[in-house]
Every structure is written in structure tokens, then in C-alpha cells.
């Protein structure tokens, strides 16, 4: 147990704050890059703006709370019920919104890479704004259950935790598992579909309204790079999203078992490690974009050189 405590101490006092700083810087630079005039004309950039805004809020609420609670034993949410429920609610909302925006971006990439001209027209700014606003309202309202049923639990001597119990723990566990599975399958299908469309994009005829083929080629190149960035985000989300869901499955199976203090501490460590791992995709999207997209790198160079 001493070894676990040391690992947890280093993880949440050093690695986790570093991840938070990296994530904040990355989200801000992503927001600036996708908000530039030549980028925000693309509907996919609007989805990326929403995605990074959701990531920014999530890591500043969920990850910061994890650092304070586990790394420095400062836990406002474990001593104040209002803070507890607000923290759980905000974390739940934006944990749902981030993959939702990724899914919208994936669907948009299917539209823009379609050989059908009418389908390509569905990739537009108006539809992007409508989907983002309506989807955000849905998840904000749907997640209100966290404001009612999350609670402060005593899990040991002088040890309190803002979490779920009873029937609501079962509901939340099932919801999280279903969400992760459906999101993973949906993102995978959309990603494969978009990549398949890219491979046949050279067969798409240029519409008569396009003044010259060079502009169409340049636009298609930017769209392809946006797809590559999206695919990387999807892969990272898929790699880390199942950790917490897997823990919830285990917790649901064993919630009525008698557990020793040592077992409770081990489960608490695994829970915290799972929460840390699901925050990683929210924090590293910017750096993945730098690696896979030359267009994005040029935009960042312009930002840093204040052009």
C-alpha cells in the first residue's frame, strides 16, 4: 500500500498538474487557430471550436478537482454538497459534450467527402450552429440528474468522497458504459466512412459554380487534413475512454460486497487513475494536430509570429 501511495502522490502532485497546464495551453491555442478567419469558414472548424471549449472547461473542473483532492488533500466537493453536485454536473455535461462534438465533426466530414453534390451541401455553417446549440441544450438538460442524486459519501474513517450510491450508481454506471460503447462505435463507423470517401474523392466532379479547379483542390486538401486531425482525436478518445467505464462495470458488480480498508484504498487508486487517463485526450489534441497537419502548423506559426 505504501508503494501505491507514493505512485499516487507523484502522479497527482507532479504529472497531473503538468498535464493540466499542457491541456490548458493546447486548448487555448486550438481555439485561437480554429477561430482565425480562414479556418472558421469551414464547418469542421466550428465543431473543433466547440470541442476544444468543452475540453477546456472539463479539464479545469474535473482534472483540477482531481489534483486538489488526491494530490493535495484539498476537497471542497467532499465537504460542501452544493459544490459536490455542481462539480459532478459540470464534469458529466462536458464529458458528454466533447465526444458529441467529435461525432458531429465526423458526420460533417462524411458530408464534405461525399461524391453526391447535395450531400456535400449539408456541410455548412448554418447546420453546424444548429447542431451545436441543440445538442448542447439536450446534454445540459439530460445531465440534470447529477444535480439531484450525487452525494457526499463516507468511504472510510475521516474519508469522504463526492460520488454516487445505490440505484443512481447503477444508473450512472450503465449510462457511462452505454455512452462509451455507442460513442466508440459511432466515431469508428464515421471515421472509416470518411476515409473511404477520401479515397474516392478524386472521382468527384467539380461543380459548375466553382470558378477554377485549383481552388477546389486546395479546399479538398484542407478538408483532408481536418479529417486527419479528427481521426487522431477519435483514436485517442477511443484508447482512453474505456478505462473509467471498465472500472464502473467492476464497481457495479462488487458494490454489495464486504470490502476491507485495503481493498477500498486499491479501488480508490484505480478510480483516480481511470479519471486521470480519460482526461488525457482532452489535453493532448493540440499537440496531435501539430504532428499530423501542415496547415495547422502554419496557422500556429502565424499566431506565434502575430501575423
What pairs with residue 153 in β-bridges?
161
pLDDT of the residue at 202: 53
Query: How far is residue 263's CA from residue 259's CA, in Å, rounded to a whole number?
Result: 6
* Nearest alpha carbon to residue 64 among 76, 82, 81, 48: 76
Taking residue 234's Cβ as centre, other Cβ atoms within 10 Å add up to 24
- Architecture of the domain delimited by 2-201+221-304: Up-down Bundle (1.20)
pLDDT of the residue at 59: 95
pLDDT of the residue at 201: 62
Is the full-model pTM beyond 0.85? yes
Render each residue's pLDDT in the chain as its tens digit; 307 residues. 677 878 888 899 999 999 999 999 999 999 999 999 888 889 999 999 999 999 999 999 999 999 998 888 888 888 899 999 999 999 999 999 999 999 999 999 899 888 888 888 999 999 999 999 999 999 999 999 999 888 888 867 777 888 888 888 888 888 888 888 898 889 889 888 888 887 776 554 444 444 444 444 444 677 778 888 988 888 888 888 778 778 878 877 887 777 777 887 888 888 888 889 989 999 999 999 999 988 899 989 989 887 6
pLDDT of the residue at 15: 93
Query: How far is residue 256's CA from residue 150's CA, in Å, rounded to a whole number?
Result: 18
pLDDT of the residue at 207: 46
pLDDT of the residue at 1: 65
**What's the length of the chain?**
307
pLDDT of the residue at 78: 86
pLDDT of the residue at 116: 84
pLDDT of the residue at 98: 95
What is the full DSSP assignment across the chain?
A: -HHHHHHHHHIIIIIHHHHHHHHHHHHHHHHHHHHSHHHHTSHHHHHHHHHHHHHHHHIIIIIHHHIIIIIS---GGGT-HHHHHHHHHHHHHHHHHHHHHHHHHHHHHHHHT-S-HHHHTT-SHHHHHHHHHHHHHHHHHHTTHHHHH-EEEEEETTEEEEE--HHHHHHHHHHHHHHHHHHHHHHHHHHHHHHHHHHTGGGSPPPTTSS-HHHHHHHHHHHHHHHHHHHHHHHHHHHHHHHHHHHHHHHHHHTTS---HHHHHHHHHHHHHHHHHHHHHHHHHHHHHHHH-HHHHHHHHHHHTT-
pLDDT of the residue at 195: 80
Cβ burial 50-78 (10 Å sphere, 16+ → b, else e) = bbbbbbbbbbbbbbebbbbbbbeeebebb
* Nearest alpha carbon to residue 44 among 291, 231, 255, 256: 231
pLDDT of the residue at 134: 98
Amino acid at each position: 500500500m505504501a508503494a501505491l501511495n507514493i505512485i499516487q502522490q507523484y502522479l497527482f502532485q507532479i504529472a497531473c498538474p503538468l498535464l493540466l497546464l499542457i491541456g490548458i495551453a493546447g486548448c487555448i491555442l486550438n481555439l485561437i487557430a480554429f477561430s482565425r478567419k480562414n479556418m472558421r469558414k469551414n464547418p469542421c472548424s466550428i465543431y473543433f471550436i466547440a470541442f476544444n471549449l468543452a475540453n477546456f472547461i472539463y479539464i479545469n473542473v474535473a482534472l483540477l478537482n482531481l489534483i486538489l483532492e488526491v494530490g493535495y488533500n484539498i476537497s471542497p466537493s467532499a465537504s460542501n454538497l452544493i459544490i459536490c453536485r455542481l462539480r459532478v454536473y459540470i464534469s458529466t455535461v462536458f464529458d458528454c459534450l466533447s465526444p458529441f462534438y467529435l461525432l458531429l465533426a465526423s458526420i460533417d466530414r462524411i458530408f464534405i467527402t461525399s461524391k453526391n453534390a447535395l450531400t456535400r451541401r449539408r456541410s455548412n455553417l448554418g447546420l453546424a450552429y444548429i447542431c451545436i446549440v441543440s445538442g448542447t441544450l439536450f446534454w445540459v438538460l439530460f445531465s440534470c440528474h447529477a444535480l439531484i442524486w450525487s452525494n457526499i459519501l463516507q468511504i472510510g474513517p475521516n474519508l469522504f468522497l463526492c460520488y454516487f450510491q445505490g440505484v443512481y450508481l447503477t444508473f450512472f454506471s450503465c449510462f457511462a458504459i452505454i455512452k462509451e460503447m455507442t460513442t466508440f462505435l459511432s466515431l469508428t463507423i464515421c471515421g472509416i466512412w470518411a476515409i473511404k470517401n477520401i479515397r474516392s474523392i478524386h472521382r468527384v466532379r467539380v461543380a459548375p459554380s466553382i470558378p477554377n479547379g485549383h481552388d477546389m483542390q486546395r479546399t479538398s486538401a484542407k478538408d483532408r487534413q481536418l479529417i486527419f486531425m479528427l481521426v487522431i482525436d477519435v483514436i485517442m478518445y477511443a484508447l482512453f475512454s474505456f478505462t473509467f467505464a471498465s472500472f464502473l462495470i467492476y464497481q457495479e458488480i462488487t458494490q454489495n460486497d464486504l470490502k476491507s480498508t485495503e481493498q477500498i484504498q486499491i479501488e480508490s487508486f484505480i478510480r483516480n487513475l481511470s479519471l486521470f487517463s480519460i482526461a488525457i485526450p482532452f489535453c493532448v489534441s493540440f499537440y496531435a494536430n501539430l504532428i499530423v497537419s501542415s496547415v495547422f502548423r502554419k496557422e500556429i506559426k502565424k499566431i506565434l509570429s502575430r501575423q
